[in-house]
Amino acid sequence: MSQMSQNGRRRVVITGVGMVSPLGNDPETSWQNLVAGESGAGPITHFDAADYSVRFACELKDFEPTTWMERKQARRMDKFSQMALSAARMAEADSGIDIASEPDRVGAAVATGIGGLYAFEDCFQQLLERGPDRTSPFSIIQIIPNMAAAWVSMELGTKGPLATETTACAASNMAIGDGLDAIRLGRAEVMLCGGTEAPITRVSIAGFSAMRALSQRNDDPKRGSRPFDADRDGFVMGEAGAVLVLEELEHARARGARIYAELLGYGVSSDAQHVTEPDPSGLSPARAMTMAFADAGIEPSQVGYINAHGTSTPVGDAAETRVLKIALGEDNAYRTPVSSTKGATGHTLGAAGAVEAIFTIFAVQRGTLPPTINYETTDPECDLDYIPNESRPAEIEIGASNSFGFGGHNACVVVRRWDEAA
């Protein structure tokens, strides 16, 4: 029989994690570098950026997809799918789940903001240089956004629900929410949920630069991403893949799984405001947070840590500060530690929510709050406790993670430190 919460719903726990990020090619290395205050930023090496106005990003280091898949298979995938499958295999191994024993009860939801940009650029270049009849037959299946989730499902053998969220920078938080709902509704016992993004390409850097969304600190890349700092001038592009194994509690207990944390709640809303700018009132994003708190059955005062969206843009960080004051209540907002780990990872777009959910889980599990690095100058519009520059020991029970995307997509997830007696 399924383990029910006090409100009669199936309880969902996290039993495995996998990640490749600018801070490391596994979750533990990424976490250790994060809490040590390291930055993943550096000059762009993926292409010749000499003529670009922005010439730095947060790239993966020494990522080798053939660690997790056959070389022939890797060649048929865009990088965003390679990263997703690598993270998913890592999470599967970490959880110890036997997918083959019940494939119909295991699903996947893997998000991306954009999809196969590398393949898109290569396909278009081939079209221009060689003509339409010489285009690779693998181009479309490398480009389309659902293929990261599809590869995860095909390679791991999941036959339950399969979904792809493409809601910009809120996408992987929404994928986690999809997984939570699927298990609560009894459509699956296990869901592999997360996100992936490989956006450090010519088109992406040029396009985001033209929007003036990116930091221009070419002379000092490691200090470019500076969330909530008064001198922030835009985000730093990052790439990552991250997957969490969500599991119905009794299912996890029956197989003796190690449990990282409980996934308590999820909230989602839309701004209906602007293609890039957030709701200036803060009310719509705050509604996603309050919905997540209500779904979790908690009061705002119980939240011990917020992993903020915090992209390092002038408008976005000030807006999120207002959001936090609305959602938490002003007194609670000033008491609640907040950090943006994008100071270290850069903004990984559709992967950000999954990366940051794992960091939030580690924060509550390990009693260490990650810092907001490069925080040097106070901004009067950003006046909360942003855990500046150094990680902080803190025994907390509940953490929340925000993700807000272009077009007004807002999502928040809430996790609780695991207590077997709870």
Active-site positions read 169, 309, 347
Cα dist from 13 to 8, 229, 289, 349, 420, whole Å: 16, 35, 20, 25, 11
Count of beta carbons in the 10 Å neighbourhood of residue 45: 11
Nearest to 363 by CA among 422, 416, 419, 292: 416
Nearest to 153 by CA among 84, 204, 95: 84
Give dist(CA 146, CA 109) in Å, integer.
Answer: 9
Continuous segment of H or E residues that includes residue 270: strand 261-270
Give dist(CA 392, CA 367) in Å, integer.
Answer: 8
DSSP code of 395? -
Give dist(CA 16, CA 216) in Å, integer.
Answer: 37
Whether the Cβ atoms of residue 229 and residue 340 lie closer than 8 Å to each other: no
What tokens were used for 308? 């903020």
What tokens were used for 47? 């292409």
By DSSP bridging, strand 240-248 and strand 190-197 are antiparallel
Q: 417 - beta bridge partners?
A: 261
Cβ-count burial 186-206 (b if 16+ within 10 Å, e if not)? eebbbbbbbbbbbbbbbebbe
Residue 141 main-chain phi, psi, to 5 deg: -75, -15
Instruction: For the chain, give the longest Cα–Cα distance.
Output: 65
Give dist(CA 169, CA 237) in Å, integer.
Answer: 12
- φ/ψ region of 237 (left if φ > 0, alpha if ψ in -120 to 50, else beta) reads beta
Give dist(CA 326, CA 406) in Å, integer.
Answer: 21
Give dist(CA 363, CA 186) in Å, integer.
Answer: 29
Whether the Cβ atoms of residue 1 and residue 250 lie closer than 8 Å to each other: yes
Q: What is the residue whose two structure tokens read 């000033």? A: 334
